Amino acid sequence: MAGEVIEIKNLVKRFGDFTAVNGISLGIKENEIFGILGPNGAGKTTTINMLLGLIIPTEGTIIVDGYNIRKNPEIIKEKMGLMTQETVVDGDLTAQQNLEIFAELYGMKGKDKEEAINYALEEADLVNFRNAKAGSFSGGMQRRLNLVKSMLHSPKILVLDEPTTGLDVQNRVSMWDRIRKLNKSGVTIILTTQYLEEADSLCNRIAIIDHGQLKAIGTPGELKKMVSEGNIIDISLRFEDIEKAQKALKQKLKMDCKVVADRISINAGKEDVKTLSSIISVLEKEKIPIIAASMHLPTLDDVFISLTGGTIRDELGEQKSNASKIMWRR
């Protein structure tokens, strides 16, 4: 990988008395797939919107390909593309017409425009549907059209905002393949997703944001090692027994447990079998029935729960990416 194509330094965004982003600094390397994860209201959407020029930072700087975007806002149009989770196509227009509109918004004309549209239709496997109305397309077809629309002007950086939300498994895997293909062609990709296995499969590195702050950054493997060098133990219990079990394990074994729905999660380290045996012994003595017990290597779910508490919060101060704003900035 080459150097950093995006540098974010001490980024802050306040909405009145509420601080949505609080001093985030990170770098995104050229030609990597970089994931940004966080609970609702964590600040990730606000961060993306500042990167796209939709929101002006209260403090801090964003450098894109060597340019300060506050001083050179036109660089966003030239260097970046955006695919939102909402399908931004006009169902009353054909695939060809949808692409023509966006090509014109990008300032493309003549042969360049024609070649870009033909290439986009080929990449989306929609050549035979170029004259069909987009409203008749399946969800997967519309999402493919959405993707190639964002790439018409051959941007160096592509922001994918939850690109597979709502897709079935087959179309999701197909989208993953298209994302990998784009990345191999030299496009730097910034990915937000609610599917942690998607981030694990696609991303070279991942940043986890919570309460407006950067909690961790690294490869999926590095992040998992932060949680445990060994296995994670999950104990499923009756809901009414969870608090009692937490207290007992903390008092008797000095263990801190994470609560996830109807189970507790414990970092077992390398002595997982011994640890599991001790946990079962304590719970039996406390007459707490165990519904199920299991062990697994750390996943990104475990990392996410460890760093954010695993709760889903309302989006206070966050502002969703607005595709129409992006479009009319072109």
pLDDT in tens, 34-91: 999 999 889 999 999 999 999 999 999 999 999 999 999 999 989 999 998 887 889 9
Tell the residue number behind the tokens 């397309």, with chain if given: 137
Question: Are 257 and 220 contained in the same domain?
Answer: no
The token pair at 184 is: 């191999």
What is the distance of C-alpha 10 from the center of its chain?
A: 21
The residue among 307, 209, 196 whose CA lies nearest residue 258 is: 307
Tell the residue number behind the tokens 């608090």, with chain if given: 243
Can you give the residue range of the structural domain that contains 262?
229-297
Question: Are 133 and 26 contained in the same domain?
Answer: yes
CATH number for the domain spanning 200: value is: 3.40.50.300
Confidence of residue 259 (pLDDT cuts 50, 70, 90): confident
Let me know if residue 19 belongs to a domain: yes
pTM, 2 dp: 0.86
The whole-number average pLDDT for the span 199-224 is 97
pLDDT at 244 over 90: yes
CATH number for the domain spanning 235: value is: 3.30.70.980
The token pair at 87 is: 């399908």
Confidence of residue 320 (pLDDT cuts 50, 70, 90): very low
Confidence of residue 229 (pLDDT cuts 50, 70, 90): confident
Question: Are 219 and 251 contained in the same domain?
Answer: no
Confidence of residue 269 (pLDDT cuts 50, 70, 90): confident
State how far the Cα of 211 lies from the Cα of 324, in Å rounded to an integer: 27
Tell the residue number behind the tokens 């549209």, with chain if given: 117
Question: Are 115 and 136 contained in the same domain?
Answer: yes
pLDDT at 249 over 50: yes
Question: Are 182 and 111 contained in the same domain?
Answer: yes
**Adjacent-strand bridge partners of 266:** 233
Pinpoint the alpha helices (H) of the chain. 44-51, 74-79, 95-105, 110-123, 139-150, 169-184, 196-202, 220-227, 242-253, 272-285, 300-308, 323-329
